[in-house]
A and B are shown apart, each in its own frame.
Chain A
Amino acid sequence: DIQMTQSPASLSASLGETVTIECRASEDIYNGLAWYQQKPGKSPQLLIYNANSLHTGVPSRFSGSGSGTQYSLKINSLQSEDVASYFCQQYYDYPYTFGAGTKLELK
């Protein structure tokens, strides 16, 4: 199985700040990576697919980058509605695997 190591596990940031979340795969996943946002009590929502493509309706302050085994999600100009947990997922190979998640809070 491909292991996804996500960091940090938790993050505290101020409104307007830029935050970055990292995900490292145990082998090359050839950009087969998605990022999801999950607000408390809600289901995950797709933000980014194919490592750097923005899903329909997602604000442009979210962006994804990376290649090979290293990927990142960046949130520019943090808004209060961005408080959530974020998960990466590789879909390059079965079984699909997720990162453990990053809980983003406001400072």
Chain B
Amino acid sequence: QVTLKESGPGILQPSQTLSLTCTFSGFSLSTYGMGVGWIRQPSGKGLEWLANIWWDDDKYYNPSLKNRLTISKDTSNNQAFLKITNVDTADTATYYCARIYGGYLYFDYWGQGVMVTVSS
């Protein structure tokens, strides 16, 4: 059974760095073709893809967030991470992590999401 669960700070102030953790089970990020992605959704709005990390440590980022994103993984502990630097109120959203399976490129299982609010 594949499960993913996001965790984060809940609330942070503008200009701080947002650190998110995705803890998963039912698959390994050391398995050929596996990947994890991060996607966010402001309340009542659409979905925005942020970044992917692959089993071979290949990484892809959404250029709209320029150089603010860093994705990483801890294979031994079944975790993936996302950092967003210099946050502002526009980064307020629910953040999801999701699995990308076996070389396919779509998200087949999603976590429940974690709400993050940026406010002074």
Question: Which residues of A are interface residues toward B (Cβ below 8 A)?
Answer: 1, 32, 34, 36, 42-46, 49-50, 55, 87, 89, 91-92, 94-101
Contact = CB atoms under 8 A, between A and B. Distances in A.
Interface of B: 37, 46-49, 52, 60-64, 96, 104-113
A34 B113 contact: no
A49 B63 CA distance: 25
Most A Cβ at <10 Å: residue of B37, B104, B107, B112: B107
A44 B109 CA distance: 9
A52 B99 CA distance: 20
Given A43-B113, A45-B110, A98 B47 contact: yes
Contacts, number: 57
A38 B9 CA distance: 24
B110 A49 contact: no
26 contacts: A36-B107, A42-B112, A43-B113, A44-B96, A44-B107, A46-B106, A46-B109, A46-B110, A49-B104, A49-B108, A55-B108, A89-B47, A89-B49, A89-B107, A91-B106, A95-B49, A95-B60, A95-B61, A95-B63, A95-B64, A96-B62, A98-B46, A98-B48, A98-B49, A100-B46, A101-B46
A43 B48 contact: no
B49 A34 contact: no
Contacts of A87: 46-47
Contacts of B60: 94-95
Contacts of A44: 47, 96, 107, 110
Nearest to A94: B60
Contacts of A43: 96, 110-113
Contacts of B107: 34, 36, 44, 46, 89
Most A Cβ at <10 Å: residue of B60, B61, B110: B110
